[in-house]
C-alpha cells in the first residue's frame, strides 16, 4: 500500500529538502553570466587643481622663472621652540627682522634671544599704544592681534591682522625716540615675546659687530623700487618742452629660481597566469593600471599642494598670506583675499572649509549664485569659482587654509609643469615601462608620473590662513 505525503502540511523530517516545482535560483546561476562592475575605488576625488592648471611643457626637465630684480628687506616670519608652557625664539630666526637680516654673529643673536620675555595675553589686551614710545620689539608666538589705526574722521580702523611668527616694533632697534604708529590689540588669547629697549641696548653695548651692522643698515641707500619691491624703471610723463629724459634699464634677478620636475612612482606587479587567463570580460592589466594611475594622480595633487619645495601652500609669498579677522571664514575675509591680486580666477578650499563658508553666508543671509566649470555647477564668490580640494590639510586645531590663484603663463600666474612625449608614455607626463618577469612568473611595470608647479610672480598665489572650521 502506498501513502502520499502532503509537503505543505504536517511536520517534516529533519534534513529532508522540501520538494520544488521549478528550478531554484542557486542552480540557475550555474548557467548564467554575472554582470560585473569595474573595480571601484573610494580614494578618487575631483582633483580640481590638476584640472584648472594650465600645463607648461618642460622639455629639459627644469623650468626657470626669470623675474625683475627685487630688493628684499627681511620680511620673513620668526619661528619658536616650545618646552611645556615656556616659549623661546630660535636665535637664528631673529635674522628674519629687517635690521638683523644677514647678521651672522650667533653668540650675539643668542644673547638677544635670551633677553626676550614671555607675555601671555587675553582678548582685548593692548600690547602697544599709538603715540607712545616704541620701547620694545614684539614677536607673536601664538595668537592673533589687530594693528589699529585712526580713520579720517577719528574712528578706529583695522590696518592689518597679525598672527603666529609676525613681528612688530623692529624700529626700536634703529631709533630710540621712535613712537608707535598703530595700536596693537589682541583678538584672541595667545603668547608673545618682548625685547625691551634696555635689554637690546645692553647687548648692543657689548657687541661691536652688532653696532656696525645696525649702523650700516640705518645709513644704507635703499635702491629705488616700486610698491612690489622691484627695481624701479625711471620714466618721465606729463612734461612739456624739451626736458632731458631719464635713462633706465630693466634689471633681472641674478639667481632666478629653477623648478625641477618631481616624480611619483610605483612598481605594479601582476602574475603572468592572471594576466594570461583571467581577462574576460575585463582585462586584468588594464584595470590594475587604471587604479594605479588614479592613485598616482591623487598623490600628484597632494604633492602640488603640500610639498615643501614646490607645493602651493609653502610657496605663497609672505605678503600674500593673510589671516582671518575673527576665525571663521567670513565674506570680508574672502574679499580681502581676492583683493590682493589682479584677476583672481579660482579659490580652492577643503570641503569642510567650504561648508564653514556656507554657514557664514547663511548667517548673513547671503546666497551667491553658482557658476559652471566643465559642465559642473560649483559655488562661487564674486563670480570666482570656489572649488573643493581635499588635499589642503585640516589641522588638529580645526583650522585650514584657502588658496586664491591666477593661472597661466600669459597671466603671469600659477602653472603646472610636466613633460610629454617621454618613453613608454601612457598619459601626458605619465609612463608605464615594462621591467621584466621574475622567477616567480610575476610581471613588473614601472609606473611614473612627472610633475611640478611654479608661481611666476608673487601675487599670482595667495593664502587665507588659520581659517577656523569648527564653529
Instruction: Give the largest Cα separation in the chain, rounded.
Output: 137
Q: What pLDDT, on the 0 to 100 scale, is given for residue 13? A: 46
Domain ranges of the chain: 48-58+261-468, 67-71+223-235+245-258, 80-219
CB 70 within 8 A of CB 98: no
Whether omega before 86 lies within 30 degrees of 0, making that bond cis, reads: no
* pLDDT reported for residue 258: 92
List C-alpha distances in Å: 210 to 39, 122, 218. Answer: 66, 34, 12
Which fold would CATH assign to domain 80-219?
Jelly Rolls (2.60.120)
pTM: 0.78
CA–CA distance, 170 with 312 (Å, rounded to integer): 29
Place of cell 589671516: 323
β-bridge pairing 167-168 and 321-323: unpaired
Beta bridge partners of 444: 269, 436
Q: Which pLDDT value is given to residue 300?
A: 96
pLDDT along the chain (471 residues), means of 10: 52 58 80 86 94 94 86 68 82 88 89 92 91 91 89 87 88 85 90 92 90 84 67 78 77 85 96 90 91 96 94 88 88 93 94 95 92 91 95 93 95 95 94 95 96 94 91 75
Give residue 1's pLDDT. Answer: 47
**What is the spatial distance between Cα 76 and Cα 457, in angstroms, rounded to a whole number?**
17
Cα 142 to Cα 135: distance, rounded to the nearest angstrom: 21
| 3-state SS track over the chain | CCCCCCCCCCCCCCCCCCCCCCCCHHHHCCCCCCCCCCCCCCCCCCCHHHHHCCEEECCCCEEEECCECECCCCECCCCEEEECCEEEECHHHHHHEHHHCCCCCHHHHHHHHHCCEEEEECCCCEEECCCCECCEEEEEEECCEEEEEECCCCCEEEEEEECCCCEECHHHHCCCCCECCCEEEECCCEEEEEEEHHHHHHHHHHCHHHHHHHHHHHHCCCCCECCCCEECCCCCCCCCCCCCCCCCCCCECCCCEEEECEEEEEEEEEEHHHHHHCCCCCCHHHHHHHHHHHHHHHHHHHHHHHCCCCCHHHHCCHHHEEECCCCCCCHHHHHHHHCCCCCCCEEEECHHHHHHHHHHHHHCCCCCCCEEECCEEECEECCEEEEECCCCCCCCCCEEEEEEECECHHHCCEEEEECCCCCCEEECCEEEEEEEECCCCEEEEEEEEEEEEEECCHHHEEEEEEEECCC
pLDDT confidence of residue 30: 80
What pLDDT, on a 0 to 100 scale, did the predictor assign at position 330?
94
CA distance 312 to 462: 9
Residues paired with residue 75 on neighbouring β-strands, in sequence order: 97
Amino acid at each position: 500500500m502506498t501513502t502520499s505525503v502532503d509537503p505543505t502540511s504536517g511536520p517534516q523530517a529533519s534534513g529532508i529538502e522540501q520538494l520544488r516545482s521549478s528550478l531554484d535560483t542557486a542552480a540557475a546561476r550555474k548557467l548564467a553570466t554575472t554582470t560585473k562592475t569595474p573595480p571601484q575605488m573610494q580614494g578618487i576625488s575631483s582633483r580640481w587643481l590638476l584640472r584648472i592648471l594650465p600645463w607648461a611643457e618642460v622639455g629639459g626637465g627644469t623650468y626657470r622663472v626669470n623675474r625683475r630684480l627685487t630688493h628684499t628687506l627681511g620680511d620673513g616670519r620668526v619661528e619658536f621652540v616650545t618646552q611645556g608652557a615656556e616659549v623661546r625664539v630660535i636665535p637664528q630666526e631673529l635674522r628674519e627682522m629687517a635690521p638683523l637680516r644677514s647678521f651672522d654673529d650667533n653668540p650675539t643673536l643668542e644673547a638677544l634671544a635670551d633677553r626676550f620675555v614671555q607675555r601671555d595675553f587675553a582678548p582685548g589686551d593692548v600690547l602697544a599704544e599709538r603715540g607712545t614710545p616704541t620701547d620694545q620689539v614684539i614677536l607673536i608666538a601664538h595668537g592673533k592681534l589687530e594693528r589699529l589705526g585712526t580713520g579720517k574722521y577719528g574712528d578706529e580702523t583695522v590696518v592689518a591682522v597679525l598672527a603666529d611668527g609676525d613681528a612688530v616694533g623692529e624700529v626700536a632697534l634703529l631709533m630710540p625716540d621712535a613712537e608707535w604708529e598703530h595700536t596693537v590689540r589682541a583678538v584672541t588669547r595667545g603668547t608673545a615675546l618682548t625685547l625691551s629697549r634696555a635689554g637690546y641696548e645692553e647687548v648692543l653695548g657689548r657687541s661691536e659687530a652688532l653696532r656696525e651692522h645696525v649702523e650700516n643698515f640705518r645709513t644704507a641707500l635703499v635702491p629705488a623700487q616700486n610698491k612690489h619691491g622691484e627695481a624701479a624703471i625711471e620714466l618721465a610723463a606729463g612734461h612739456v618742452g624739451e626736458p632731458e629724459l631719464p635713462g633706465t634699464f630693466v634689471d633681472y634677478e641674478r639667481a632666478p629660481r629653477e623648478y625641477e620636475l618631481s616624480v611619483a612612482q610605483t612598481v605594479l606587479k601582476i602574475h603572468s597566469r592572471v594576466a594570461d587567463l583571467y581577462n574576460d570580460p575585463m582585462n586584468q592589466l588594464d584595470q590594475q593600471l587604471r587604479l594605479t594611475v588614479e592613485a598616482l594622480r591623487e598623490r600628484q595633487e597632494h604633492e602640488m599642494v603640500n610639498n615643501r619645495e614646490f607645493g602651493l601652500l609653502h610657496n605663497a609669498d609672505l605678503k600674500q598670506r593673510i589671516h582671518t579677522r575673527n576665525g571663521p571664514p567670513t565674506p570680508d575675509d574672502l574679499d580681502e583675499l581676492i583683493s590682493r591680486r589682479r584677476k583672481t580666477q579660482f579659490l580652492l578650499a577643503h570641503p569642510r572649509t567650504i561648508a564653514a563658508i556656507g554657514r557664514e553666508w547663511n548667517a548673513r543671509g547671503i546666497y551667491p549664485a553658482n557658476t559652471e566649470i566643465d559642465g559642473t555647477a560649483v559655488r562661487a564668490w564674486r563670480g570666482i569659482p570656489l572649488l573643493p580640494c581635499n588635499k589642503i590639510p585640516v589641522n588638529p586645531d580645526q583650522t585650514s587654509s584657502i588658496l586664491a590663484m591666477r593661472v597661466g603663463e600669459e597671466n603671469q600666474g600659477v602653472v603646472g609643469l610636466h613633460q610629454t612625449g617621454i618613453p613608454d608614455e601612457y598619459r601626458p607626463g605619465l609612463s608605464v615601462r615594462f621591467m621584466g618577469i621574475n622567477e616567480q612568473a610575476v610581471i613588473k611595470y614601472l609606473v611614473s608620473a612627472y610633475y611640478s608647479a611654479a608661481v611666476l610672480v608673487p601675487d599670482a598665489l595667495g593664502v587665507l590662513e588659520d581659517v577656523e572650521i569648527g564653529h
